Amino acid sequence: MAVKIAPSILAADFLNLKDELKKLEENKADMIHFDVMDGTFVPNMSFANPILKQVKSATSIPIDVHLMIDRPHRYVEEFAKDADYLGFHYEAGSNVTETLKKIRECGAKTCLTIKPCTKAEQIFEFLPLCDMVLVMSVEPGFGGQSFMPDSLEKVKALRKEIDDKGYNTLIEIDGGINSETAPLATQAGVDVLVAGSYLFGDKMRERIEHLKSL
Ligand code: DX5
Ligand code: ZN
Protein backbone atom coordinates (compact mmCIF):
# COMPACT_ATOMS: atom_id res chain seq x y z
CA MET A 1 0.00 0.00 0.00
CA ALA A 2 1.37 3.44 -0.96
CA VAL A 3 2.12 5.71 1.95
CA LYS A 4 -0.56 8.34 2.64
CA ILE A 5 0.32 12.00 3.17
CA ALA A 6 -1.42 14.12 5.79
CA PRO A 7 -0.26 17.77 5.61
CA SER A 8 -0.57 19.51 8.98
CA ILE A 9 -2.33 22.83 8.49
CA LEU A 10 -0.67 24.16 11.63
CA ALA A 11 1.98 25.27 9.11
CA ALA A 12 -0.51 26.76 6.60
CA ASP A 13 -0.91 30.44 5.77
CA PHE A 14 -4.14 31.18 7.65
CA LEU A 15 -4.74 34.43 5.82
CA ASN A 16 -5.00 32.36 2.65
CA LEU A 17 -6.47 29.17 4.03
CA LYS A 18 -8.91 28.67 1.16
CA ASP A 19 -6.06 28.72 -1.35
CA GLU A 20 -3.98 26.41 0.84
CA LEU A 21 -6.86 23.89 0.91
CA LYS A 22 -7.20 24.17 -2.86
CA LYS A 23 -3.48 23.48 -3.27
CA LEU A 24 -3.77 20.40 -1.04
CA GLU A 25 -6.55 19.08 -3.29
CA GLU A 26 -4.57 19.78 -6.47
CA ASN A 27 -1.56 18.01 -5.00
CA LYS A 28 -3.63 15.01 -3.90
CA ALA A 29 -3.08 15.12 -0.15
CA ASP A 30 -4.71 12.03 1.35
CA MET A 31 -5.84 13.65 4.62
CA ILE A 32 -5.68 17.03 6.30
CA HIS A 33 -4.06 16.86 9.74
CA PHE A 34 -5.77 19.31 12.11
CA ASP A 35 -3.91 20.02 15.40
CA VAL A 36 -6.05 21.14 18.36
CA MET A 37 -4.08 22.42 21.39
CA ASP A 38 -5.50 23.64 24.69
CA GLY A 39 -2.52 25.26 26.44
CA THR A 40 -2.84 22.69 29.27
CA PHE A 41 -2.11 19.25 27.84
CA VAL A 42 0.54 20.96 25.72
CA PRO A 43 2.23 24.33 26.36
CA ASN A 44 0.71 25.98 23.28
CA MET A 45 -2.69 26.82 21.82
CA SER A 46 -3.92 26.52 18.26
CA PHE A 47 -7.42 26.37 16.75
CA ALA A 48 -10.51 24.33 17.46
CA ASN A 49 -13.99 23.28 16.31
CA PRO A 50 -15.30 26.53 14.74
CA ILE A 51 -12.36 26.51 12.32
CA LEU A 52 -12.68 22.75 11.79
CA LYS A 53 -16.28 23.29 10.67
CA GLN A 54 -15.19 25.85 8.10
CA VAL A 55 -12.33 23.70 6.83
CA LYS A 56 -14.64 20.69 6.51
CA SER A 57 -17.13 22.72 4.48
CA ALA A 58 -14.38 23.90 2.12
CA THR A 59 -12.70 20.59 1.21
CA SER A 60 -13.50 17.02 0.23
CA ILE A 61 -10.22 15.68 1.69
CA PRO A 62 -10.80 13.58 4.82
CA ILE A 63 -9.82 15.38 8.03
CA ASP A 64 -7.61 13.80 10.65
CA VAL A 65 -8.11 15.68 13.93
CA HIS A 66 -5.28 15.43 16.49
CA LEU A 67 -6.61 16.50 19.89
CA MET A 68 -3.84 17.68 22.21
CA ILE A 69 -6.24 18.52 25.02
CA ASP A 70 -6.88 17.35 28.58
CA ARG A 71 -9.75 14.90 29.18
CA PRO A 72 -10.68 14.72 25.50
CA HIS A 73 -13.83 12.61 26.07
CA ARG A 74 -15.59 15.90 26.92
CA TYR A 75 -15.33 17.08 23.31
CA VAL A 76 -15.83 13.90 21.28
CA GLU A 77 -19.40 14.70 20.20
CA GLU A 78 -18.49 18.18 19.06
CA PHE A 79 -15.39 17.25 17.04
CA ALA A 80 -16.87 14.02 15.62
CA LYS A 81 -19.38 16.13 13.66
CA ASP A 82 -16.63 17.24 11.27
CA ALA A 83 -13.70 14.85 11.81
CA ASP A 84 -13.16 11.78 9.65
CA TYR A 85 -10.49 10.45 12.01
CA LEU A 86 -10.71 11.71 15.60
CA GLY A 87 -7.50 11.19 17.56
CA PHE A 88 -6.69 11.79 21.21
CA HIS A 89 -3.79 11.11 23.55
CA TYR A 90 -3.45 7.99 25.68
CA GLU A 91 -1.88 10.27 28.35
CA ALA A 92 -4.67 12.88 28.40
CA GLY A 93 -6.71 11.56 31.34
CA SER A 94 -9.77 10.05 29.65
CA ASN A 95 -10.84 6.41 29.89
CA VAL A 96 -9.28 5.09 26.69
CA THR A 97 -11.75 2.29 25.88
CA GLU A 98 -14.81 4.44 26.57
CA THR A 99 -13.46 7.33 24.53
CA LEU A 100 -12.62 5.10 21.55
CA LYS A 101 -16.11 3.57 21.67
CA LYS A 102 -17.73 6.98 21.93
CA ILE A 103 -15.85 8.23 18.86
CA ARG A 104 -17.16 5.29 16.82
CA GLU A 105 -20.69 5.76 18.15
CA CYS A 106 -20.50 9.37 16.98
CA GLY A 107 -19.60 8.18 13.49
CA ALA A 108 -15.89 9.01 13.26
CA LYS A 109 -12.87 6.74 12.92
CA THR A 110 -10.62 6.36 15.95
CA CYS A 111 -6.97 7.30 16.37
CA LEU A 112 -5.11 6.65 19.65
CA THR A 113 -1.98 8.78 20.00
CA ILE A 114 1.16 8.33 22.11
CA LYS A 115 3.73 10.87 23.29
CA PRO A 116 7.45 10.09 23.21
CA CYS A 117 7.30 8.96 26.89
CA THR A 118 4.76 6.18 26.22
CA LYS A 119 5.77 2.71 25.09
CA ALA A 120 4.06 1.02 22.15
CA GLU A 121 3.17 -2.00 24.31
CA GLN A 122 1.03 0.20 26.57
CA ILE A 123 -1.57 0.58 23.81
CA PHE A 124 -1.58 -2.98 22.41
CA GLU A 125 -4.76 -3.87 24.31
CA PHE A 126 -6.67 -1.03 22.60
CA LEU A 127 -5.71 -1.88 19.01
CA PRO A 128 -8.95 -3.75 18.20
CA LEU A 129 -10.79 -0.43 18.75
CA CYS A 130 -8.30 1.70 16.77
CA ASP A 131 -8.70 2.55 13.10
CA MET A 132 -5.36 4.34 13.35
CA VAL A 133 -2.62 4.89 15.94
CA LEU A 134 -0.43 7.98 15.94
CA VAL A 135 3.18 7.80 17.14
CA MET A 136 4.51 11.25 18.03
CA SER A 137 8.08 11.70 16.81
CA VAL A 138 8.42 15.05 18.66
CA GLU A 139 6.99 16.33 21.95
CA PRO A 140 3.49 17.51 20.96
CA GLY A 141 2.84 21.24 21.00
CA PHE A 142 4.90 22.87 18.26
CA GLY A 143 5.65 22.45 14.57
CA GLY A 144 9.19 22.64 13.20
CA GLN A 145 10.93 20.41 15.77
CA SER A 146 13.53 17.71 15.07
CA PHE A 147 12.53 14.09 14.57
CA MET A 148 13.16 11.74 17.52
CA PRO A 149 14.63 8.46 16.15
CA ASP A 150 13.39 6.44 19.18
CA SER A 151 9.91 6.67 17.65
CA LEU A 152 10.98 4.18 14.94
CA GLU A 153 11.28 1.30 17.43
CA LYS A 154 7.71 1.99 18.54
CA VAL A 155 6.50 1.96 14.95
CA LYS A 156 8.20 -1.41 14.41
CA ALA A 157 6.66 -2.88 17.56
CA LEU A 158 3.19 -1.66 16.54
CA ARG A 159 3.65 -2.89 12.95
CA LYS A 160 4.52 -6.37 14.24
CA GLU A 161 1.61 -6.53 16.68
CA ILE A 162 -0.91 -5.25 14.08
CA ASP A 163 0.32 -7.69 11.42
CA ASP A 164 0.58 -10.67 13.80
CA LYS A 165 -2.96 -10.15 15.08
CA GLY A 166 -4.41 -9.22 11.68
CA TYR A 167 -5.84 -5.84 12.75
CA ASN A 168 -6.77 -3.17 10.17
CA THR A 169 -5.17 -0.35 12.16
CA LEU A 170 -3.15 2.25 10.24
CA ILE A 171 0.08 3.61 11.75
CA GLU A 172 0.65 7.36 11.49
CA ILE A 173 3.72 9.36 12.52
CA ASP A 174 3.82 13.09 13.34
CA GLY A 175 6.71 15.48 13.93
CA GLY A 176 9.91 16.35 12.07
CA ILE A 177 8.99 14.50 8.87
CA ASN A 178 11.05 15.57 5.83
CA SER A 179 12.95 13.97 2.93
CA GLU A 180 15.50 12.43 5.33
CA THR A 181 13.21 11.11 8.05
CA ALA A 182 10.24 10.00 5.91
CA PRO A 183 12.08 6.99 4.39
CA LEU A 184 13.09 5.83 7.88
CA ALA A 185 9.45 6.00 8.94
CA THR A 186 8.09 4.13 5.92
CA GLN A 187 10.79 1.43 6.27
CA ALA A 188 9.74 0.96 9.89
CA GLY A 189 6.16 0.35 8.76
CA VAL A 190 4.33 3.70 8.81
CA ASP A 191 1.17 4.03 6.66
CA VAL A 192 0.48 7.77 7.07
CA LEU A 193 3.06 10.58 7.19
CA VAL A 194 2.05 13.88 8.83
CA ALA A 195 4.18 16.81 7.70
CA GLY A 196 3.78 20.51 8.39
CA SER A 197 6.76 22.80 7.98
CA TYR A 198 8.32 20.59 5.27
CA LEU A 199 5.25 20.69 3.00
CA PHE A 200 3.79 24.20 3.17
CA GLY A 201 5.41 26.82 0.95
CA ASP A 202 6.62 27.06 -2.64
CA LYS A 203 7.74 23.44 -2.96
CA MET A 204 4.52 21.73 -1.89
CA ARG A 205 3.92 19.98 -5.20
CA GLU A 206 7.34 18.31 -5.52
CA ARG A 207 7.54 17.53 -1.83
CA ILE A 208 4.17 15.74 -1.70
CA GLU A 209 5.15 13.85 -4.86
CA HIS A 210 8.47 12.91 -3.30
CA LEU A 211 6.90 11.63 -0.07
CA LYS A 212 4.29 9.67 -2.03
CA SER A 213 7.02 7.96 -4.05
CA LEU A 214 8.64 6.43 -0.92
C1 DX5 B 1 3.01 19.01 16.82
C2 DX5 B 1 1.90 18.72 15.86
C3 DX5 B 1 2.32 18.40 14.47
C4 DX5 B 1 3.02 19.52 13.75
C5 DX5 B 1 4.06 18.87 12.87
O6 DX5 B 1 2.52 18.99 18.10
O7 DX5 B 1 1.15 17.60 16.32
O8 DX5 B 1 1.22 17.92 13.69
O9 DX5 B 1 2.19 20.30 12.94
O10 DX5 B 1 4.89 19.84 12.35
P11 DX5 B 1 6.25 19.54 11.62
O12 DX5 B 1 5.95 18.63 10.46
O13 DX5 B 1 6.75 20.88 11.25
O14 DX5 B 1 7.13 18.83 12.65
ZN1 ZN C 1 -0.34 16.67 14.99
Q: Could you state, in order of their start, the residue ranges of all structural domains in the chain?
A: 4-212
User: Is the overall model pTM greater than 0.85, yes or no?
Assistant: yes
* CATH no. of 4-212: 3.20.20.70
Residues in contact with 199: Cβ distance below 8 Å, sequence separation at least 6, in sequence order = 5, 7, 8, 11, 207, 208, 211
User: Distance from the CA of 144 to the center of ligand 2, in angstroms?
Assistant: 11
Whether 24 shows a pLDDT value over 90: the answer reads yes
Q: What percent of the chain has pLDDT over 90?
A: 100
User: 26-38, pLDDT tens digit by residue?
Assistant: 999 999 999 999 9
pLDDT at 79: 98
Residue 95 class from Cβ within 10 Å (0-12 exposed, 13-18 middle, 19+ buried)?
Answer: exposed
pLDDT at 77 over 90: yes
**Residue 177 has what pLDDT?**
98
Q: What is the pLDDT of residues 114-130, one digit of tens each?
A: 999 999 999 999 999 99
155-206 pLDDT per residue, tens: 999 999 999 999 999 999 999 999 999 999 999 999 999 999 999 999 999 9
What residues does ligand 1 touch, defined as CB less than 6 Å away?
A: 8, 10-11, 33, 35, 66, 138, 140-145, 174-177, 194-198
* pLDDT for res 114: 99
Burial group, residue 36, by CB count within 10 angstroms (0-12, 13-18, 19+): buried
Residue 1 has pLDDT above 90, yes or no: no
Does the annotation count 35 as an active-site position? yes
Longest Cα–Cα distance in the chain: 46
Q: Which listed residue (30, 82, 174, 191) is catalytic?
A: 174
Tell the residue nearest (CA) to atom 4 of ligand 1: 143
d(C-alpha 194, C-alpha 156), whole Å: 17
Q: Which ligand is nearest to the CA of 44?
A: 1
Mean predicted lDDT score pLDDT of the chain: 98
